[in-house]
């Protein structure tokens, strides 16, 4: 079976799970890795048996590589995507697609011009938890979706991340860092968004690293750290989302979807599995629903596998650039609405991703249903 040859740019914390994915999924092989600190690329190459550690320029010039996996920091996402496309390579990156909306549009336009595919995390919505919720909604278990709530609230990544500074810079913060998980899940479950409004604040202008490594180091905050948004979906449903790095504790659920005949509790969209609860109009309480799909462990790279399948066989991959750009515009819309005190009309749209097949093996191949 043919495989897509991939190269990773950015060998930071998140890269390990992608290197593991390259050894798990059958659709792609990671054959090279690059980082601005070459020693870090060499360390990853040795640890994960990657044939080649090199500079970004060398990786982009490598004619064997068909797909670039862009794991750089958010401020570098657009530059690497555009350079990969210019080198004639498909590109898949960590979220967000870009920091500025104009850069996101440039990426999609350039990819279309070059006849190349763009993909973007998160791919957690392809996991067993949210795919089970998608099937329940598609099969009519809660009727027509009319409302949704989403909450991502804790006191920031400095309690575990040794170098969290970039998560408090423009293009990050709780909405741009964690919002893509929640918003991608909502678009996958309900559909695209037509209009938003929001309010945002920056509570602490300075933060302190509280992880064991670098404990006590202080750094400045450059972006809002508590954002509340309201969404009007194209199908008429109304959604509420709150993302915060300012909250010390909460008991609110991650996501709930409410329909005309029932309600659904959706598991944490930052993970692939989780527990699904359903309450129909004739139930006295929520009941747990067995998961219908696999990929419940940490399966990051599943979106790359799905994209590699599209590169080989054609068709549309699910964690695609249009979906990522739509989510990116929603997030920007909350901030714009807050700054300008008005509703923001979403200019983009996207197709709801197709549900993932139920008969997939752990390596991404399909098994025969008898």
Could you tell me the pTM of the whole model? 0.94
Mean pLDDT of all residues in 14-31: 93
Handedness of CA 316, 256, 240, 97 (dihedral sign): negative
Confirm if 61 and 153 have CB atoms less than 8 A apart.
Answer: no
What is the distance between the alpha carbons of residues 318 and 48, in angstroms, rounded to a whole number?
A: 27
Cα atoms in the Cβ-side hemisphere of radius 13 Å centred on 157: 18
All structural domains of the chain, each given as residue ranges with its CATH number in brackets, are 4-120 (3.40.50.720), 124-289 (3.30.360.10)
pLDDT at 323 over 90: yes
What is the distance between the alpha carbons of residues 370 and 75, in angstroms, rounded to a whole number?
A: 49
Handedness of CA 278, 353, 227, 96 (dihedral sign): positive
Determine the pLDDT at residue 360: 83
Determine the pLDDT at residue 34: 98
Determine the pLDDT at residue 170: 84
Task: Please spell the DSSP secondary structure of 288-351, one letter per residue.
Answer: EE---S---S--TTHHHHHHHHHHHH-S--SSBHHHHHHHHHHHHHHHHHHHHTS-EE-----P
Task: Please spell the DSSP secondary structure of 107-157, one letter per residue.
Answer: HHHHHHHHT--EEES--GGGSHHHHHHHHHHHTTTT-SEEEEEEEEE-S-G
Rounded alpha-carbon distances, angstroms, from residue 17 to 20, 153, 167, 187:
5, 24, 20, 25
173-189 and 128-138 helices, crossing angle to 10°: 40
pLDDT at 266 over 70: yes
Phi (first) and psi of residue 88, to 5 degrees: 85, 25
Q: For residue 84, give the H/E element and its range.
A: helix 74-86
pLDDT at 147 over 70: yes
pLDDT in tens, 227-253: 999 999 999 999 999 999 999 999 999
Mean pLDDT of all residues in 285-310: 96
pLDDT at 370 over 80: no
- For 219-256, b where at least 16 C-beta lie within 10 A, e where not — what string? bebebbbbbbbbbbbeeebebebbbbbbbeeeeeebbb
Confidence of residue 368 (pLDDT cuts 50, 70, 90): low
Confirm if 179 and 196 have CB atoms less than 8 A apart.
Answer: no
pLDDT in tens, 155-200: 999 999 888 998 999 878 999 999 999 999 999 999 999 999 999 9
Beta bridge partners of 30: 6
Number of H helices and E strands in the chain, helices first, is 9, 17
Mean pLDDT of all residues in 6-12: 97
Phi (first) and psi of residue 48, to 5 degrees: -110, 15
Structure tokens at 303: 């979106």
The set of residues, in sequence order, having a beta carbon less than 8 Å from that of 274 and lying 6+ positions away, is 129, 267, 268, 296
């Amino acid at each position: 079976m043919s495989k897509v040859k991939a190269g990773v740019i950015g060998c930071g914390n998140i890269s390990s799970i992608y290197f593991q994915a390259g050894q798990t999924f059958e659709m792609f092989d990671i054959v090279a890795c690059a980082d601005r600190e070459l020693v870090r690329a060499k360390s990853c190459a040795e640890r994960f048996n990657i044939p080649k550690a090199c500079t970004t320029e060398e990786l982009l010039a490598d004619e064997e590589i068909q797909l670039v996996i862009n794991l750089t920091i958010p401020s570098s996402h657009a530059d690497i995507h555009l350079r990969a496309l210019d080198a004639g390579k498909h590109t898949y990156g960590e979220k967000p697609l870009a920091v500025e909306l104009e850069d996101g549009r440039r990426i999609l336009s350039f990819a279309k011009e070059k006849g190349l595919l763009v993909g973007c995390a998160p791919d957690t919505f392809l996991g067993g938890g949210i795919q089970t919720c998608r099937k329940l909604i598609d099969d009519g278990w809660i009727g027509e979706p009319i409302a949704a709530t989403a909450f991502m609230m804790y006191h920031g990544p400095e309690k575990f991340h040794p170098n969290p500074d970039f998560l408090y810079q423009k293009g990050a913060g709780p909405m741009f860092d964690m919002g893509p998980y929640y918003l991608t899940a909502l678009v996958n479950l309900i559909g695209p968004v037509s209009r938003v409004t929001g309010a945002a604040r920056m509570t602490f202008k300075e933060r302190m690293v509280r992880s064991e490594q670098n404990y006590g180091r202080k750094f400045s905050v450059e972006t809002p750290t508590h954002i509340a948004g309201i969404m009007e979906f194209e199908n008429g449903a109304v959604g509420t989302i709150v993302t915060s790095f300012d909250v010390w504790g909460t008991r609110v659920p991650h996501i709930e979807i409410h329909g005309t005949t029932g309600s659904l509790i959706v598991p944490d969209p930052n993970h692939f599995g989780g527990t699904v609860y359903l309450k129909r109009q004739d139930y006295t309480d929520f009941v747990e629903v067995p998961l219908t799909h696999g990929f419940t462990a940490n399966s990051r790279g599943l979106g790359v596998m799905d994209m590699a399948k599209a590169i080989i066989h054609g068709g549309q991959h699910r964690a695609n650039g249009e979906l990522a750009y739509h989510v990116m515009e929603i997030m920007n819309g909350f901030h714009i609405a807050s700054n300008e005190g008005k509703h923001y009309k979403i200019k983009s749209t996207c197709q709801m991703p197709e549900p993932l097949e139920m008969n997939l093996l752990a390596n991404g191949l399909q098994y025969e249903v008898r």
